Amino acid sequence: LCGWLLYWFPFFSFDAAGRFTHLLNPRTGASVTGDRSVTVTARDAAKADAFSTAFSLMSSEDIRAVAKREGDIDVMLSDSRDG
């Protein structure tokens, strides 16, 4: 079995200005905003979901390090924030 999940920003927001989304950064308590797309492929959907959510909050450099360490996930990232 294989699972994949795509997170794309901007997506659903709770207000017209787009200030409040369904993902919160646990370090700041602020909604995650920006222009980022994260797609994760893993052995199962739960793992893909967990990593795609976490990667939505991480820097590109940290995402690459985690993906390399895990070894069994593939990540496609499009990010205007930090490349």
Mind listing the pLDDT tens digit of every residue in the chain (83 residues)? 445 555 555 556 677 776 777 777 888 888 877 667 888 988 888 888 899 888 988 888 999 999 999 989 999 888 766 54
pTM passes above 0.85: no
> What pLDDT, on a 0 to 100 scale, did the predictor assign at position 5?
53
pLDDT at 56: 84
**Which one-letter DSSP state was computed for residue 23?**
-
- CA distance between the termini of the chain: 31
Supply the pLDDT for residue 73: 92
Sheet with 74-79, strands from edge to edge, namely: 3-8, 36-42, 74-79
